[in-house]
């Protein structure tokens, strides 16, 4: 791909600094710690910051200046450089730039009908009011298995663009994806929260039929991703958490990734409001069928799982990582997890959303996670995410990063 001379000069200048960072010795240490974390070693916890409200960081270094079609790569480089300089914690910049395969989908036959209120913070978080479009069996009949296709031309164009920008600096590789699907997160946007929770209690048979239909959709999607050679056994990040593991791919891997060569990742955030028995019946039983063939599994997102770990243990023989949120009890979680799973600890993002940063609650929170995990031999990582606001104070993120590292230094 040919680009304007000035755009190429700008992007090459950014890429030079990006490449310098990618080749630092610190990256080798972090890569090894990523691997050891997911292989259940009690090493110094990795600390990551993700899902940042970039619109609240008004810095000239983040302003794109090149033509719009280069925005995806310019934004990635500029944000990475900014994060590295201001709140890097354990950010990993790999020594090769990976460009994911572009996959098209025909959709599932129904569309989300919603009223959405977005903020102006640059965060992806918004308020949603969903209209119920899956009330009846007639509505379920509208659901279709999506047809996936590989956008070879678009992918090659992106790889060529990245290759021109990083020529002579670092290699550009074609990447893929892990297997992500959360059945009830999908259903919730077609039904709305109140309708979904009410029908779990009052119309359980209908909700089982709904779950089965979305399981069918997910299974067909996974088969097509595998057939299109779109899976990746060597992801650096798995939904904001550490992704590298020496247990992937499988021992009989021959070059084309299959489900057993990759991570699976699922959650049921709306089920934070249901009993363990209902969670198991309506979600875990279906995900056991969907993710049982994956090499490793990461379960959970924002729902508190500290009282349900025994259910996860029974359902998933490949479970490796569990999300433990600010609304969960880390002591109870670590006691149940022991050394069998990685605790993906999610610190409270509210602490960086205030006009004045107070390190005290952050110190208590980080120390609480660490001490619980050390008592029970549980590997741990920290991911500050779901950040809806930083009160227009990017220094809050830098102060949070310094606080977290200072606390960890007391223990490691």
In the chain, the percentage of residues whose pLDDT exceeds 70 is 99
Domain for residue 164, yes or no? no
Using CA of residue 189, residue 193, residue 194, residue 199, what is the dihedral sign? positive
Burial of 116 (0-12, 13-18, 19+ CB in 10 A): exposed
- pLDDT tens sequence across 353-369: 999 999 999 999 999 99
- Tell me the mean pLDDT in the region 336-360: 98
Query: Mean pLDDT for the chain?
Result: 96
Alpha-helix residue ranges (DSSP H) falling in 150-284: 152-166, 183-191, 193-202, 204-227, 276-279
- Tell me the mean pLDDT in the region 101-129: 86
- pLDDT tens sequence across 50-69: 999 999 999 999 999 999 99
The answer to whether the beta carbons of residues 7 and 66 sit under 8 Å apart is: yes
**Stated pTM of the model:** 0.95
Domain for residue 190, yes or no? yes
The answer on pLDDT for 236 being more than 60 is yes
Q: How many domains does the chain have?
A: 1
Compute the distance between CA of residue 38 and CA of residue 15 in angstroms, rounded to an integer. Answer: 30
- Tell me the mean pLDDT in the region 297-318: 96
pLDDT confidence band for 149 (50 / 70 / 90):
very high
Residue 314, domain CATH: 3.20.20.210
Domain for residue 349, yes or no? yes
In the chain, the percentage of residues whose pLDDT exceeds 90 is 94
Maximum pairwise Cα distance, the chain:
64
pLDDT confidence band for 128 (50 / 70 / 90):
confident
- Tell me the mean pLDDT in the region 315-343: 97
Q: What is the structure's pLDDT at 8?
A: 94
Q: What is the structure's pLDDT at 98?
A: 95
Q: What tokens appear for 49 in the block?
A: 């910051």
Domain for residue 8, yes or no? no
Domain for residue 222, yes or no? yes
Q: What is the structure's pLDDT at 117?
A: 83
Q: Which of 115-129, 190-204, 379-393 has the lowest mean pLDDT?
A: 115-129
Domain for residue 381, yes or no? yes
Compute the distance between CA of residue 53 and CA of residue 59 in angstroms, rounded to an integer. Answer: 13
Q: How many helices (H) and strands (E) does the chain have?
A: 14, 15
- Tell me the mean pLDDT in the region 226-255: 96
pLDDT confidence band for 3 (50 / 70 / 90):
confident
Residue 345 neighbours by CB under 8 Å, 6+ apart: 45, 324, 330, 369, 380, 381, 382, 383
Q: What is the structure's pLDDT at 1?
A: 55
Q: What is the structure's pLDDT at 370?
A: 98
The answer to whether the beta carbons of residues 176 and 232 sit under 8 Å apart is: yes
Question: Domain of 348?
Answer: 43-53+100-151+169-409
The answer to whether the beta carbons of residues 178 and 258 sit under 8 Å apart is: no
Domain for residue 95, yes or no? no
Q: What is the structure's pLDDT at 118?
A: 80
The answer on pLDDT for 28 being more than 60 is yes
Q: What is the structure's pLDDT at 2?
A: 65
Domain for residue 297, yes or no? yes
């Amino acid at each position: 791909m040919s680009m304007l001379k000035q755009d190429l000069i700008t992007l090459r200048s950014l890429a030079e600094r990006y490449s310098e960072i990618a080749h630092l010795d610190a990256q080798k240490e972090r890569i090894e710690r990523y691997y050891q974390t997911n292989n259940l070693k009690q090493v110094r916890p990795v600390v990551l910051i993700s899902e940042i409200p970039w619109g609240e960081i008004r810095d000239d270094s983040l302003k794109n200046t090149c033509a719009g079609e280069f925005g995806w790569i310019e934004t990635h480089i500029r944000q990475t450089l900014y994060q590295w300089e201001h709140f890097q914690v354990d950010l990993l910049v790999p020594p090769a730039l990976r460009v994911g395969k572009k996959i098209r989908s025909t959709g599932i036959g129904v569309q989300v009908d919603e009223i959405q209120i977005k903020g102006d913070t640059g965060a992806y978080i918004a308020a949603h009011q969903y209209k119920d479009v899956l009330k009846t069996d007639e509505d379920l009949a509208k659901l279709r298995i999506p047809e996936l296709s590989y956008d070879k031309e678009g992918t090659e164009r992106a790889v060529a663009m990245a290759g021109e920008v990083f020529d002579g600096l670092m290699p550009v590789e074609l990447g893929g994806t892990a297997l992500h699907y959360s059945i009830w997160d999908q259903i919730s946007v077609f039904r709305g929260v109140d309708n979904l929770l009410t029908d779990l209690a009052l119309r359980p048979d209908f909700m089982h039929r709904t779950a089965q239909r979305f399981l069918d959709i997910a299974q067909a999607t996974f088969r097509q991703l595998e057939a299109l050679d779109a899976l990746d056994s060597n992801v650096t990040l798995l939904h904001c958490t550490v992704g590298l593991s020496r247990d992937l791919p499988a021992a009989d891997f021959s070059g084309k990734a299959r489900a057993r060569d990759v991570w699976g990742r699922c959650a049921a955030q709306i089920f934070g409001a249901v009993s363990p028995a209902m969670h198991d019946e309506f979600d875990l039983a279906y995900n056991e069928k969907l993710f049982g063939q994956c090499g490793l599994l990461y379960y959970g997102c924002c729902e508190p799982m500290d009282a349900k770990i025994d259910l996860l243990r029974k359902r998933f023989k490949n479970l490796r990582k569990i999300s433990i949120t600010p609304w969960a009890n880390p002591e109870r979680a670590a006691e149940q997890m022991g050394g069998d799973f990685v605790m993906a600890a999610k610190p409270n993002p509210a602490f960086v959303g205030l006009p004045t940063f107070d390190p005290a609650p952050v110190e208590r929170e980080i120390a609480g996670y660490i001490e619980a995990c050390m008592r029970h031999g549980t590997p741990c990582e920290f991911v500050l995410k779901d950040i809806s606001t930083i009160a227009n104070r990017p220094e809050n993120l830098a102060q949070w990063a310094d606080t977290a590292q200072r606390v960890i230094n007391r223990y490691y």
